[in-house]
Amino acid sequence: MSLDEVTSSPAQAFRRLRNQRHSGVCTGWSYDKNGNELSAAGQLPRTGETYNDFNQLTALTSGGTTTQYTYAGTDSSDRLTAGSTRIDQGPEGISTTTDGATSTGFFHDPAGTASA
Protein backbone atom coordinates (compact mmCIF):
# COMPACT_ATOMS: atom_id res chain seq x y z
CA MET A 1 0.00 0.00 0.00
CA SER A 2 1.20 3.47 -0.72
CA LEU A 3 -0.02 6.90 0.27
CA ASP A 4 -1.72 8.89 -2.46
CA GLU A 5 -0.89 12.21 -0.84
CA VAL A 6 0.61 13.57 2.38
CA THR A 7 0.49 17.27 3.17
CA SER A 8 1.94 19.45 5.89
CA SER A 9 1.75 23.15 6.40
CA PRO A 10 5.11 24.90 5.89
CA ALA A 11 3.74 27.85 7.87
CA GLN A 12 3.58 25.70 10.98
CA ALA A 13 6.63 26.14 13.20
CA PHE A 14 6.77 22.42 14.00
CA ARG A 15 6.07 21.13 10.44
CA ARG A 16 3.62 18.48 11.67
CA LEU A 17 1.59 16.19 9.43
CA ARG A 18 -1.81 17.79 8.70
CA ASN A 19 -3.56 15.54 6.18
CA GLN A 20 -3.05 12.18 4.57
CA ARG A 21 -4.97 10.71 1.64
CA HIS A 22 -4.85 6.95 1.16
CA SER A 23 -7.08 5.11 -1.29
CA GLY A 24 -9.19 8.24 -1.64
CA VAL A 25 -9.83 8.60 2.13
CA CYS A 26 -8.55 11.80 3.72
CA THR A 27 -7.52 11.81 7.39
CA GLY A 28 -6.22 14.74 9.41
CA TRP A 29 -4.43 15.86 12.56
CA SER A 30 -4.61 19.01 14.68
CA TYR A 31 -2.02 20.57 17.00
CA ASP A 32 -1.80 23.26 19.66
CA LYS A 33 0.54 26.27 19.47
CA ASN A 34 3.35 24.21 21.07
CA GLY A 35 3.15 21.47 18.44
CA ASN A 36 1.35 18.97 20.70
CA GLU A 37 -1.11 16.72 18.87
CA LEU A 38 -4.73 17.52 19.85
CA SER A 39 -6.54 15.04 17.62
CA ALA A 40 -5.78 12.50 14.94
CA ALA A 41 -7.82 10.51 12.46
CA GLY A 42 -6.91 7.34 10.61
CA GLN A 43 -6.36 3.81 11.85
CA LEU A 44 -6.06 4.89 15.51
CA PRO A 45 -8.26 7.99 15.90
CA ARG A 46 -7.59 10.09 18.98
CA THR A 47 -9.36 13.11 20.45
CA GLY A 48 -9.42 15.08 23.69
CA GLU A 49 -5.65 15.14 24.02
CA THR A 50 -4.65 17.52 26.80
CA TYR A 51 -1.23 18.64 28.05
CA ASN A 52 0.13 20.26 31.21
CA ASP A 53 2.44 23.29 31.43
CA PHE A 54 5.43 21.02 30.66
CA ASN A 55 3.85 19.80 27.38
CA GLN A 56 3.33 16.34 28.87
CA LEU A 57 0.31 14.39 27.62
CA THR A 58 -2.18 14.26 30.53
CA ALA A 59 -5.22 12.71 28.80
CA LEU A 60 -6.11 11.03 25.53
CA THR A 61 -9.41 9.57 24.25
CA SER A 62 -9.38 6.67 21.79
CA GLY A 63 -12.19 4.25 21.04
CA GLY A 64 -14.43 6.03 23.53
CA THR A 65 -12.00 5.43 26.42
CA THR A 66 -10.10 8.28 28.06
CA THR A 67 -6.70 7.49 29.57
CA GLN A 68 -5.04 9.81 32.10
CA TYR A 69 -1.23 10.07 32.37
CA THR A 70 1.02 11.23 35.24
CA TYR A 71 4.77 11.94 35.39
CA ALA A 72 7.51 12.15 38.03
CA GLY A 73 9.38 15.09 36.52
CA THR A 74 9.06 17.91 34.05
CA ASP A 75 9.74 15.88 30.90
CA SER A 76 7.96 12.88 29.43
CA SER A 77 10.77 10.37 30.05
CA ASP A 78 9.58 9.40 33.54
CA ARG A 79 5.90 8.52 33.17
CA LEU A 80 4.36 7.17 36.40
CA THR A 81 0.95 6.02 35.19
CA ALA A 82 -1.04 5.44 32.01
CA GLY A 83 -4.62 4.92 33.11
CA SER A 84 -4.62 2.15 35.74
CA THR A 85 -1.16 0.94 34.70
CA ARG A 86 1.76 1.91 36.96
CA ILE A 87 5.07 2.33 35.12
CA ASP A 88 8.37 1.80 36.93
CA GLN A 89 11.53 3.24 35.40
CA GLY A 90 15.00 1.74 35.53
CA PRO A 91 18.34 3.11 34.32
CA GLU A 92 17.59 2.14 30.70
CA GLY A 93 13.91 3.11 30.66
CA ILE A 94 10.76 1.19 31.55
CA SER A 95 11.60 -1.75 33.82
CA THR A 96 8.11 -2.96 34.83
CA THR A 97 4.47 -2.14 34.24
CA THR A 98 1.76 -3.17 36.71
CA ASP A 99 -1.97 -3.26 35.98
CA GLY A 100 -3.97 -4.67 38.86
CA ALA A 101 -2.29 -7.91 39.93
CA THR A 102 -0.37 -8.35 36.65
CA SER A 103 3.22 -7.13 36.38
CA THR A 104 5.33 -7.28 33.24
CA GLY A 105 9.10 -6.98 33.46
CA PHE A 106 11.27 -5.65 30.64
CA PHE A 107 14.91 -6.19 29.84
CA HIS A 108 17.00 -4.09 27.47
CA ASP A 109 19.47 -5.41 24.91
CA PRO A 110 22.87 -3.71 24.48
CA ALA A 111 21.32 -1.25 21.99
CA GLY A 112 18.71 -0.22 24.61
CA THR A 113 15.71 -1.88 22.95
CA ALA A 114 13.16 -3.08 25.53
CA SER A 115 11.67 -6.57 25.39
CA ALA A 116 9.08 -8.13 27.70
Q: C-alpha dihedral over 61, 39, 94, 86, to 10 degrees?
A: -20
**Domain shared by 51 and 31, yes or no:** no
Range of the domain at 95: 46-108
Residues 99 and 60 in one domain: yes
- At residue 27, the pLDDT reads 61
Which pTM does this prediction carry?
Answer: 0.68
Indicate whether 115 belongs to any domain.
Answer: no
pLDDT of 73 > 80? The answer is yes
pLDDT at 116 (0 to 100): 65
**Nearest CA among 91, 93, 83 for reference residue 116:** 93
Is 28's pLDDT higher than 70? yes
Mean pLDDT of the chain: 77
Query: Same domain, yes or no, for 12 and 54?
Result: no
Cα gap 93→58, rounded to integer Å: 20
Q: Would residue 116 count as lying in a domain?
A: no
Shared domain check, 51 and 13: no
Instruction: Provide the domain count of the chain.
Output: 2
113 is a domain residue: no
